[in-house]
């Protein structure tokens, strides 16, 4: 597989994550950890079926237990921190801090062997970050000091996912099939924590279950498999910067279905995110 093809496959995850907000709205009022358990059960099951069809589970037995611990903590830790942050702090501000992960991926990737940061990567990442900030902040009233614990958790959330993505590159020998085990283990941990901390409220009606299944198939399922291929074999710096398209595309989807209203913020964010992606792409091509 070429580097360019792997990068393109990884970007599919960004497109799928753009549907995360839409499907999540459809699953209300299911609590987050229960929803997490449902979605990762679906994603893990699909991965196990795919693994079995591609040669069985022998490839999984050869993988170190450390890899499974790493992957499980990455998936479960990110979502646990994210949901907790949004409970303790305003969603817009906490979401903005959590969405530092694409910028952190671009910066941290410069520490990897054979990777080098160029000025174009930094400029593109910053442009994309400001574009994402416009969408997530949405003209809010700024940070609330009383919500500091939530902000700290949101920052840990960003560090968790960026660290997971970058260090996944160091696990390049670990097959993508291991993601299926990550998903199953995350589902089990989510179910345990749900029983301990949440009331059980299942998705309501056909729309609720359809949204939950769609989440498990796409943004909380297939997305992790294609992202694994992208960060291990593709251009991780370009992927990190291109990830800023997720909040933009997510907002456009919400506007298209009438959940959100269009505004000048969308236009400005489009220019910043698109321009940042072009700058970073040119820097990667020159490399």
Give the gyration radius of the chain's Cα atoms.
Answer: 18
Intervals of the chain under pLDDT 70:
56, 91-92, 111-113, 115, 136-144, 169, 171-172, 284-287
Residue 142: the pLDDT is 56
Residue 29: the pLDDT is 86
Please count the other Cβ atoms lying within 10 Å of the Cβ belonging to residue 267. Answer: 11
Residue 97: the pLDDT is 80
CA dist., res. 244 & res. 250, Å (int): 10
Question: Token pair 């056909």 is at which residue?
Answer: 206
- The pTM (predicted TM-score) of the whole model is 0.78
Residue 184: the pLDDT is 95
C-beta separation of 127 from 275 below 8 A: yes
Residue 139: the pLDDT is 54
Give tens-digit pLDDT for 74-111.
Answer: 989 888 888 788 777 776 677 778 878 877 877 777 76
Residue 218: the pLDDT is 93
Nearest residue to 242 (alpha-carbon basis) of 1, 71, 21, 12 = 12
Judge if the upstream peptide bond of residue 126 is cis by omega within 30 degrees of 0: no
Residue 106: the pLDDT is 75
Residue 90: the pLDDT is 72
Residue 146: the pLDDT is 78
CA dist., res. 49 & res. 167, Å (int): 26
CA dist., res. 26 & res. 39, Å (int): 13
Q: Sign of the C-alpha dihedral, residues 41, 25, 192, 82?
A: positive
CA dist., res. 206 & res. 220, Å (int): 19
Spatial neighbors of 264 by CB under 8 A, at least 6 apart, are none
Q: Sign of the C-alpha dihedral, residues 131, 132, 133, 138?
A: positive
Please count the other Cβ atoms lying within 10 Å of the Cβ belonging to residue 154. Answer: 26
């Amino acid at each position: 597989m070429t580097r360019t093809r792997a990068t393109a496959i990884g970007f599919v995850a960004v497109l799928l994550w753009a549907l995360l907000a839409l499907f999540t709205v459809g699953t209300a009022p299911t609590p987050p950890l229960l929803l997490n358990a449902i979605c990762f059960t679906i994603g893990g099951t699909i991965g196990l079926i795919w693994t079995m069809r591609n040669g069985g589970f022998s490839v999984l037995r050869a993988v170190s237990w450390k890899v499974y611990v790493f992957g499980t903590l990455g998936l479960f830790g990110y979502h646990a921190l994210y949901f907790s942050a949004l409970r303790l702090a305003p969603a817009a501000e906490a979401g903005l801090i959590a969405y530092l992960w694409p910028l952190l991926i671009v910066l941290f990737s410069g520490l990897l062997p054979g990777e080098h940061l160029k000025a174009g990567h930094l400029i593109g990442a910053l442009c994309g970050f400001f574009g994402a900030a416009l969408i997530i902040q949405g003209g809010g009233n700024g940070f609330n000091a009383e919500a500091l614990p939530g902000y700290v958790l949101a920052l840990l959330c960003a560090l968790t996912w960026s660290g997971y993505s970058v260090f996944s590159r160091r696990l390049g020998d670990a097959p993508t099939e291991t993601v299926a085990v990550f998903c199953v283990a995350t589902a089990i941990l989510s179910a345990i924590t749900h029983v301990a901390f949440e009331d059980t409220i299942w998705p309501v009606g056909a729309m609720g279950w359809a949204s939950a299944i769609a989440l498990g198939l796409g943004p909380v399922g297939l997305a992790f498999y294609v992202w694994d291929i992208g960060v291990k074999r593709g251009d991780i710096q370009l992927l990190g910067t291109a990830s800023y398209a997720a909040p933009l595309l997510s907002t456009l989807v919400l506007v298209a279905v009438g959940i959100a209203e269009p505004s000048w913020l969308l236009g400005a964010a489009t220019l910043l995110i698109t321009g940042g992606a072009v700058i970073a792409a040119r820097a990667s091509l020159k490399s």
